Amino acid sequence: MSKRVKGNRPLSPHLTIYRPQMSSISSILVRITGVSLALGFILIITWLLAASTNVYYFDCINSILTSWFGIIVLIGSVWALCYHSLGGIRHLIWDMGFGFDLKIADRLGWMVIIGSFVLTIFVVYYSGLLL
Protein backbone atom coordinates (compact mmCIF):
# COMPACT_ATOMS: atom_id res chain seq x y z
CA MET A 1 0.00 0.00 0.00
CA SER A 2 1.26 3.48 -0.80
CA LYS A 3 1.68 6.16 1.86
CA ARG A 4 -1.21 8.08 0.34
CA VAL A 5 -3.66 5.27 1.09
CA LYS A 6 -2.24 4.65 4.58
CA GLY A 7 -2.68 8.32 5.43
CA ASN A 8 -4.03 9.26 8.81
CA ARG A 9 -7.12 7.08 8.85
CA PRO A 10 -8.20 5.77 12.27
CA LEU A 11 -7.10 2.21 13.04
CA SER A 12 -8.61 -0.14 15.58
CA PRO A 13 -9.14 0.04 18.52
CA HIS A 14 -11.71 2.71 17.68
CA LEU A 15 -12.31 3.54 21.32
CA THR A 16 -11.66 7.25 20.81
CA ILE A 17 -14.21 7.79 18.05
CA TYR A 18 -16.84 5.18 18.86
CA ARG A 19 -19.68 6.02 21.26
CA PRO A 20 -19.82 3.34 23.98
CA GLN A 21 -22.95 1.22 23.72
CA MET A 22 -24.34 -1.77 25.53
CA SER A 23 -23.47 -4.13 22.66
CA SER A 24 -19.97 -2.74 22.06
CA ILE A 25 -18.94 -2.70 25.74
CA SER A 26 -20.32 -6.20 26.43
CA SER A 27 -18.59 -7.42 23.26
CA ILE A 28 -15.16 -5.92 24.02
CA LEU A 29 -15.41 -7.45 27.51
CA VAL A 30 -15.48 -10.90 25.86
CA ARG A 31 -12.08 -10.05 24.35
CA ILE A 32 -10.68 -8.59 27.57
CA THR A 33 -11.83 -11.58 29.64
CA GLY A 34 -10.50 -13.94 26.95
CA VAL A 35 -7.05 -12.37 27.02
CA SER A 36 -6.95 -12.28 30.82
CA LEU A 37 -7.98 -15.94 30.94
CA ALA A 38 -4.47 -16.67 29.61
CA LEU A 39 -3.39 -15.83 33.18
CA GLY A 40 -5.96 -18.24 34.65
CA PHE A 41 -4.70 -20.83 32.16
CA ILE A 42 -1.10 -20.40 33.45
CA LEU A 43 -2.32 -20.53 37.06
CA ILE A 44 -4.29 -23.77 36.74
CA ILE A 45 -1.56 -25.47 34.69
CA THR A 46 1.07 -24.48 37.27
CA TRP A 47 -1.18 -26.08 39.88
CA LEU A 48 -1.47 -29.26 37.75
CA LEU A 49 2.31 -29.39 37.12
CA ALA A 50 2.98 -28.95 40.84
CA ALA A 51 0.54 -31.76 41.62
CA SER A 52 2.34 -33.99 39.10
CA THR A 53 5.81 -33.16 40.52
CA ASN A 54 5.64 -33.72 44.26
CA VAL A 55 3.78 -32.83 47.44
CA TYR A 56 6.21 -30.01 48.41
CA TYR A 57 5.75 -28.06 45.17
CA PHE A 58 2.04 -28.70 45.40
CA ASP A 59 1.79 -27.34 48.96
CA CYS A 60 3.74 -24.26 47.88
CA ILE A 61 1.40 -23.52 44.92
CA ASN A 62 -1.63 -24.45 46.99
CA SER A 63 -0.73 -21.96 49.74
CA ILE A 64 -0.31 -19.21 47.12
CA LEU A 65 -3.68 -20.07 45.50
CA THR A 66 -5.48 -20.13 48.85
CA SER A 67 -3.93 -16.91 50.16
CA TRP A 68 -6.18 -13.81 50.04
CA PHE A 69 -4.36 -12.67 46.91
CA GLY A 70 -4.70 -16.07 45.25
CA ILE A 71 -8.40 -16.25 46.09
CA ILE A 72 -9.02 -12.81 44.56
CA VAL A 73 -7.22 -13.88 41.35
CA LEU A 74 -9.10 -17.21 41.31
CA ILE A 75 -12.52 -15.60 41.76
CA GLY A 76 -11.58 -13.03 39.10
CA SER A 77 -10.63 -15.87 36.76
CA VAL A 78 -13.91 -17.67 37.48
CA TRP A 79 -15.85 -14.51 36.66
CA ALA A 80 -13.79 -14.03 33.48
CA LEU A 81 -14.48 -17.63 32.48
CA CYS A 82 -18.24 -17.25 33.14
CA TYR A 83 -18.42 -13.93 31.27
CA HIS A 84 -16.35 -15.19 28.36
CA SER A 85 -18.49 -18.34 28.07
CA LEU A 86 -21.83 -16.50 28.18
CA GLY A 87 -20.56 -13.71 25.91
CA GLY A 88 -19.18 -16.37 23.58
CA ILE A 89 -22.57 -18.07 23.41
CA ARG A 90 -24.10 -14.69 22.52
CA HIS A 91 -21.56 -14.33 19.70
CA LEU A 92 -22.41 -17.85 18.48
CA ILE A 93 -26.09 -16.83 18.43
CA TRP A 94 -25.13 -13.75 16.39
CA ASP A 95 -22.99 -15.92 14.08
CA MET A 96 -26.09 -17.99 13.32
CA GLY A 97 -27.89 -14.80 12.32
CA PHE A 98 -30.19 -14.28 15.30
CA GLY A 99 -30.48 -11.57 17.94
CA PHE A 100 -29.50 -8.51 15.93
CA ASP A 101 -32.67 -6.65 16.87
CA LEU A 102 -31.50 -3.78 19.15
CA LYS A 103 -33.90 -4.70 21.94
CA ILE A 104 -32.87 -8.35 21.89
CA ALA A 105 -29.15 -7.48 21.59
CA ASP A 106 -29.44 -5.22 24.64
CA ARG A 107 -31.34 -7.82 26.61
CA LEU A 108 -28.76 -10.48 25.69
CA GLY A 109 -26.03 -8.10 26.90
CA TRP A 110 -27.68 -7.68 30.29
CA MET A 111 -28.28 -11.44 30.51
CA VAL A 112 -24.55 -12.02 29.92
CA ILE A 113 -23.50 -9.47 32.57
CA ILE A 114 -25.97 -10.55 35.24
CA GLY A 115 -25.57 -14.23 34.35
CA SER A 116 -21.78 -14.03 34.72
CA PHE A 117 -22.10 -12.81 38.32
CA VAL A 118 -24.78 -15.38 39.18
CA LEU A 119 -22.64 -18.19 37.72
CA THR A 120 -19.55 -16.89 39.56
CA ILE A 121 -21.38 -16.96 42.90
CA PHE A 122 -22.61 -20.48 42.10
CA VAL A 123 -19.12 -21.76 41.16
CA VAL A 124 -17.45 -20.15 44.20
CA TYR A 125 -20.12 -21.66 46.47
CA TYR A 126 -19.81 -25.03 44.72
CA SER A 127 -16.00 -25.02 45.07
CA GLY A 128 -16.29 -24.60 48.85
CA LEU A 129 -13.21 -22.37 48.74
CA LEU A 130 -14.66 -19.69 51.02
CA LEU A 131 -16.41 -22.06 53.46
Partner 1 sequence: MTFRTDRAKVLGLGSAKSGADHWFGERLKSVALIPLTIIFVLIVAPLIGKDHATVIASFQNPFVSISLILFFLVSFKHLEEGLQVVIEDYVHSKGSLLLLIIFNKLFCWTFGLAAVFAILKITFAG
Site for partner 1 in 61-120 (CB under 8 A): 62, 65-66, 74, 78, 81, 85, 88-89, 91-92, 95
Of 22, 44, 64, 93, the one binding partner 1 (CB under 8 A) is 44
Nearest alpha carbon to residue 84 among 129, 43, 115, 125: 115
Q: Which is nearer to partner 1, 11 or 17 (CB)?
A: 11
Number of residues that bind partner 1 (CB under 8 A): 37
What percentage of the chain's residues is helix, strand, coil (to nearest 5)? 75, 0, 25
Q: Nearer Cβ to partner 1, position 7 or 126?
A: 126
Nearer to partner 1, 7 or 128 (CB): 128
Q: Which of 72, 65, 34, 31 is nearest to 51 (CA)?
A: 65
Question: Of the candidates 25, 129, 22, which has an alpha carbon nearest to the alpha carbon of residue 71?
Answer: 129
What is the closest distance, in whole angstroms, from the C-beta atom of residue 74 to partner 1 in the complex?
Answer: 7
Sign of CA dihedral 89, 92, 98, 103: positive
**Minimum gap (Å) between residue 39 Cβ and partner 1:** 11
Does residue 51 interact with partner 1 by CB under 8 A?
Answer: yes
